[in-house]
Amino acid sequence: MIKPMFLAAVAAALGVSFACAAEIKVISANGMREVINETKAKFEAASGHKLAVSVVETGEIRRRVLAGEAYDVIMVPRNASDEFETQGKVGVGAVPVIRVNFGLAVRADGPKPDVSTPEGLKKTFLAAKIVLITDPATGGISGVHLMEVLNKLGIADEMKGKLVPNRGGGFHAERVVKGEADLAVQAEHEIKCVKGAAFLDYPKEFQRSIVFMAGVGTASAEPAAAKAYIAFIKGPEVAPAIKAHCLSPG
């Protein structure tokens, strides 16, 4: 349980008062979904504030934010955060919260293909019948990155009939474990936290690490409360949730 003294210390450091409860509008990319859900009630109970949370793909966040929709806290990959700052949508001083890597999921009790080289990865993709992915059209990073990899391997056209967007939500690896797909491509934590799934890293040539940044929206109606929430997310009380969901601190 979060101790009120922790939030009080955060408030003192930021010059924030929790005397007046606020509703904090948060929009976040999917990488932070489980951490936000697990710690939301704790923050609300300790601070008196309420969180109104929307978790969607990065592309949808970009569309909504650049269209003028206002948020108090925005948590997105660094490239999107930098763009929002340049566009005047997020204030200067966004901070890193988690780091995410990407790779492939296979059944833990099945064969582990060698994907340590581009050639091995190419053979693995071509041998698969069904590969579950995040639809690149949504702006989801794992799907966009996968298409870049397939283009570099020269097999994007050959893979078109094998790639299946996972529209049911949840972790793609869960369906691999059930035998509904041969492979899944998603973030490392979304694979490692699925019982019965094994994570295969991309070859070093294709490895990509994304840092998620948390910033205060420049149109925020509650900037002080927004800063307090970001301090909470960065603080020691949330660190166990980040670890529990197979994530790395930013």
Structure confidence at residue 57 (pLDDT): 87
Q: Domains in the chain, ordered, with CATH?
A: 4-99+210-249 (3.40.190.10), 101-201 (3.40.190.10)
Q: For residue range 5-64, what is the model confidence (pLDDT) as tens digits?
A: 554 555 444 444 445 789 999 999 988 999 999 999 999 999 999 999 999 988 899 999
- Summarised one tens digit per residue, pLDDT across range 84-100 is 999 999 999 999 999 98
Q: Residue 248 pLDDT > 70, yes or no?
A: yes
Look at residue 150 in the predicted model and tell me its pLDDT.
98
Tell me the three state secondary structure of residue 247. coil
Cα Rg of the chain, angstroms: 19
pLDDT reported for residue 9 = 52
Top mean pLDDT of 30-34, 188-192, 212-216 is at: 212-216
Beta strands in the chain (DSSP E): 23-28, 50-55, 73-77, 95-107, 131-133, 163-165, 183-187, 197-201, 209-216, 248-249
Average pLDDT over residues 179-199: 95
Residue 131 confidence class, pLDDT cut points 50, 70, 90:
very high
14 by Cβ neighbours in 10 Å (0-12 / 13-18 / 19+) ranks as: middle
Specify the pLDDT at position 170: 77
What percentage of the chain reaches a pLDDT higher than 70? 92
Structure tokens at 152: 């570099």
Q: Answer yes or no: is pLDDT of 190 > 80.
A: yes
| Cβ-based neighbours of 145, under 8 Å, separated by 6 or more | 102, 208
